[in-house]
Amino acid sequence: MRILVLGGDGYLGWPTALHLSDCGHEVAVADNFARRSYDHEMGVQSLAPIESLQTRVAAWREVSGKDIQAYYGDLVDGEFTVDMIRDFRPDTIVHFAEQRAAPYSMIDRKHAVYTQQNNVVGNLNVLFAIEEVDPEIHLVKLGTMGEYGTPNIDIEEGWIDVEHKGRTDRMLFPKKPGSFYHLSKVHDSHNIEFACRIWGLRATDLNQGVVYGQETPQTVRDPRLATRFDYDAIFGTVLNRFVIQAVLGHPLTVYGSGSQTRGVIDIRDTVECIRLAAENPAEAGEFRVFNQMTESFSVEEIAKVVANGYEGSVDVEYLTNPRVEQAEHYYNVVHTGLVELGLDPHLLSNTLIHSLFRVAEQHKHRVDTAAMRPTVQWREASSPMRGLN
By CB under 6 A, tell whether 142 contacts ligand NAD. yes
Single residue of 90, 122, 158, 178 touching ligand NAD by CB under 6 A: 122
Q: Is residue 287 at the binding interface for ligand NAD, with CB under 6 A as the rule?
A: no
Among the listed residues 118, 179, 214, 218, the single contact to ligand NAD using CB under 6 A: 118
The residues in 161-190 that bind ligand NAD, with binding defined as CB under 6 A, are none
Stretch of 3-11, 17-25, 248-256, 360-368 contacting ligand NAD, by CB under 6 A: 3-11
Decide: is 13 part of the binding site for ligand NAD (CB under 6 A): yes
147 is a contact residue toward ligand NAD (CB under 6 A): no
Which positions ≥6 away from 220 have C-beta within 8 Å? none
- C-alpha distances in Å from residue 80, one per residue of 53, 76, 77, 89: 19, 8, 5, 14
122 or 322: whose CB is closer to ligand NAD?
Answer: 122
CA dist 96 and 140 (Å) reads 9
> In terms of CB distance, is 56 or 138 closer to ligand NAD?
56
Q: Which of 144, 227, 253, 294 is catalytic?
A: 144
Q: Is 76 in the site for ligand NAD (CB under 6 A)?
A: yes
Rounded distance between C-alpha atoms, residue 250 and residue 300, angstroms: 16
Phi, psi of 369 (to 5 degrees): -65, -30
| Helices 350-363 and 238-248: angle between axes, nearest 10 degrees | 60
Q: How far is the CB of 65 from ligand NAD (least distance, A)?
A: 25
Considering only residues 235 to 264 of the shown chain, the ones binding ligand NAD according to CB under 6 A are: 237
Segment interacting with ligand NAD (CB under 6 A) among 4-12, 106-114, 170-178, 364-372: 4-12
* 242 closest CA partner among 353, 322, 352: 353
Q: Is residue 211 a contact point for ligand NAD (CB under 6 A)? A: yes
Residues 6+ apart with CB under 8 A from 122: 74, 75, 76, 81, 97, 98
| Catalytic entry in 185, 255, 261, 310 | 185
Nearest distance, CB of residue 389 and ligand NAD, angstroms: 26
| Active-site annotation holds for 114 | no
Nearest to ligand NAD by Cβ — which residue? 10
Please tell me whether residue 214 binds ligand NAD under the rule CB under 6 A. Answer: no
* 3 state DSSP class of 263: strand
Shortest separation between residue 14's beta carbon and ligand NAD, angstroms: 8
Catalytic residue among 71, 104, 148, 181: 181
Q: C-alpha dihedral over 61, 66, 72, 76, to 10 degrees?
A: -140
Residues 6 or more apart whose CB falls under 8 angstroms from that of 256 comprise 299, 318, 319, 320, 321, 325, 327
Report the distance separating Cα 282 and Cα 128, nearest Å: 18
Least separation in angstroms between CB 33 and ligand NAD = 5
For ligand NAD, what does the binding mask look like between residues 32 and 51, x meaning CB under 6 A?
Answer: xxxx----------------
Which residue lies nearer to ligand NAD by CB, 150 or 163?
A: 150
Annotation marks residue 181 as catalytic: yes
CA atoms within a 13 Å half-sphere pointing along the CA-CB vector of 268: 14
Q: Which stretch binds ligand NAD (CB under 6 A): 20-28, 69-77, 244-252, 367-375?
A: 69-77
Q: Among 179, 216, 168, which Cα is nearest to 356's?
A: 216
Round to whole Å and give the CA distance between 372 and 143. Answer: 25
3 state SS of 210: strand
Query: Rule CB under 6 A: is residue 309 a binding residue for ligand NAD?
Result: no
Nearest to 85 by CA among 34, 152, 136: 136
Residue 210 in the binding site for ligand NAD (CB under 6 A): yes
144 flagged as catalytic: yes
Positions that interact with ligand NAD (CB under 6 A): 7, 9-13, 31-35, 74-76, 96-100, 118, 122, 142, 144, 208, 210-211, 228, 237
Catalytic residues: 144, 181, 185
